[in-house]
DNA sequence: GGTAGATCCTGACGCCGCGCCAGGTTCAAG
DNA sequence: CTTGAACCTGGCGCGGCGTCAGGATCTACC
């Protein structure tokens, strides 16, 4: 072991440190280069010598890193503001992981649905892929898990009849949207903005406190859920409608 | 809309496709450059024109991508072997996500433990970081969740007395290991390999069916679990021991 | 004190999935 | 014909290292 018994302090070469901690030499080089873990001592020839303090710091770094914390955050937590900064970091990371876990659950459910669809139906038609995509992006971007639960409760509260009614109404809106697309109605026209407004109103029935914005997205979700059950429209029609509504929403 | 009504087919420019699907133009450029989604048509000036087939393919791509599938896998699944390849891909991805979910749970538990430790103890000493790191790397690399459960059951079955006995025995082994380190016993010597063997045997009590290899890792886990409760050794001693054992294991 | 082989150094490119310019060409509308 | 929007290609950048390449330096043995 290099430098043992010198001034009563133990010094490790980079290879020894790597072997002992399981971190690669390259990683240590990298940590040094970004200033996260500089070797306290350098020999005359430029070889790195690590102290026991460095070792302890390395353990902290690797632990946090294995918990998924990015190196930049580790650096600020270890160098920056003293007490409590580590705690705050861990709390943030825990929250981030919670988010990730929820997303993972979403993905797993979606994949299982896709697999069922494939095995029962023989194959997956592209149109179905579209509906899956719709639901995922809408869901992922606009709702937290809590909000999702709230929506489920609200839907349960509305009852079967109201749900059926809304579905018919929604189908009517889609039909009109397609008519507008076919007729070439411009996105800025009153017809189009009116459609968007009724669209959002219908959505707002399923959502109260959070306002119309999120409600519109809810409607999109109902949308794709319905589509997955019965697909009376082609992919091309749907994409045209999507584009039309998006454009109209920007104009209004 | 570009190219509408031409030969009865609809063609989209790259910007239109981007707006309609929510994919950025840059991403489409990238997909084109890696051959994942080439624009079927190019105008004389080199501008991309996408067909409805391209649109459908894009929906598939984005769906799989949002499910976490890497682009390379998507390409092989869409272009490669026909029926069943998609199903296999999804099954693989599902398995991968299951793994991720388990790892996430591990991480969350570990962070919560760390937080408890910090809040009850005022701060976290570096030595504790080391034990956390040990458990994580050992656990993460060598055990599946099922194996973990099996281990927990086995430990419960052994009873308190046997557990206590094993702990004392283990402490003895650590003491001897430290003696060897202090005395400079080489890793290839019979003393060292004998220590490793007894170490693994002790571990094998906690693990039957999977063999000694995994059992040794179990022992490592006990190791750090004990350390977290009472730390009679310094970080430096532990790291030296770890290195010694690793080296001896390679020699035997 | 010479030499071999292990270890060390710095510097550079590669990975993935794009984001984000820069500088030039082409399109659609008035 | 002009203007501004859309399009093109090509290049750098991120994070966290892995993986060479080419050279300097260490340790051990004769």
Name the percent of chain A lying above pLDDT 90.
18
3-state SS class at B9: strand
pLDDT of residue A30: 97
Could you tell me which chain B residue has the CA closest to the CA of A134?
A: B63
B12 touches strand D (CB under 7 A): no
Kindly provide the b/e burial profile for residues B203-226, where b requires at least 16 CB atoms within 10 angstroms of the residue's own CB.
bbbbbeebeeebbbbbbbbbbbeb
pLDDT of residue B45: 95
- Confidence band for B173, pLDDT divided at 50, 70 and 90: confident
DSSP state letters, B14-64:
HHHHHHHH---HHHHHHHHHTTSS--SEE-TT--EEE-HHHHHHHHHHHHH
Highest mean pLDDT among A124-138, A187-201, B117-131: A187-201
Mutate to test the interface with A, among B23, B67, B134, B217 (most CBs of A within 10 A): B67
pLDDT of residue A40: 95
pLDDT of residue A49: 96
**Pick from A68-77, A111-120, B90-99: least confident:** A111-120
Quick one: tokens of A237? 């029609």
Could you tell me which chain B residue has the CA closest to the CA of A112?
A: B94
B22 touches strand C (CB under 7 A): no
User: Which candidate, A72, A53, A66, A70, places its Cα nearest to that of A23?
Assistant: A66
B38 touches strand D (CB under 7 A): no
Name the percent of chain B lying above pLDDT 70.
55
H or E element that contains A227: helix A212-229
Average pLDDT over residues A177-193: 77
pLDDT of residue A19: 83
Residue A25 predicted with pLDDT over 80: yes
User: Where exactly does CATH 1.10.1660.10 map onto chain B?
Assistant: 12-80
pLDDT of residue A74: 93
Write out residues 50-69 of B within 8 Å (CB-CB) of A.
Answer: 52, 55-57, 59-60, 62-63, 66-68
Cβ atoms within 10 Å of B244's Cβ, excluding its own: 21
B121-CA/C18-C1' distance, Å: 44
Contact B22 A136 (CB under 8 A): no
- Confidence band for B79, pLDDT divided at 50, 70 and 90: confident
Residue B88 touches partner A, C-beta closer than 8 Å: no
Nearest chain B CA: its distance from A164 CA (Å): 29
Nearest chain B CA: its distance from A156 CA (Å): 29
Residue A235 predicted with pLDDT over 50: no
Calculate the average pLDDT of chain B.
71
For the domain spanning B12-80, the CATH number is 1.10.1660.10
Over residues B205-240, the pLDDT tens digits come to 554 333 333 434 434 433 433 333 333 444 445 556
- Confidence band for B24, pLDDT divided at 50, 70 and 90: very high
B31-CA/D14-C1' distance, Å: 19
Query: Are A224 and A138 contacting, i.e. CB atoms less than 8 angstroms apart?
Result: yes
**Pick from A163-167, A183-187, A210-214: least confident:** A210-214
């Amino acid at each position: 072991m290099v430098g043992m018994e010198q001034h009563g302090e133990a010094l490790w070469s980079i290879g020894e440190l790597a072997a002992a901690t399981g971190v690669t030499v390259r990683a240590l080089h990298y940590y040094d280069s970004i200033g996260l873990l500089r070797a306290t001592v350098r020999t005359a020839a430029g070889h790195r010598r690590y102290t026991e303090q460095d070792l302890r710091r390395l353990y902290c770094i690797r632990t946090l890193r294995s918990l998924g914390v990015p190196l930049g955050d580790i650096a600020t937590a270890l160098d920056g503001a003293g007490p409590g900064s580590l705690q705050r970091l861990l709390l943030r990371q825990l929250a981030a992981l919670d988010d990730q876990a929820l997303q993972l659950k979403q993905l797993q459910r979606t994949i299982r649905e896709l697999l069922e669809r494939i095995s029962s139906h023989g194959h997956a038609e592209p149109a179905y892929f579209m509906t899956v995509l719709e639901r995922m992006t809408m869901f992922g971007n606009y709702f937290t898990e809590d909000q999702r639960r709230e929506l489920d409760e609200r839907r349960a509260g509305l009852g079967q009849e109201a749900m059926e009614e809304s579905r018919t109404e929604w189908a009517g809106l889609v039909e009109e949207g397609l008519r507008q697309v076919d007729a070439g109605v411009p996105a800025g026209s009153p017809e189009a903005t009116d459609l968007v407004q009724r669209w959002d109103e219908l959505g707002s029935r399923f959502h109260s406190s959070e306002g119309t914005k999120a409600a519109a997205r809810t409607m999109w979700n109902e949308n794709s859920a319905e589509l997955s059950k019965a697909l009376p429209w082609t992919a091309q029609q749907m994409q045209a409608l999507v584009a039309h509504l998006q454009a109209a929403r920007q104009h209004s």
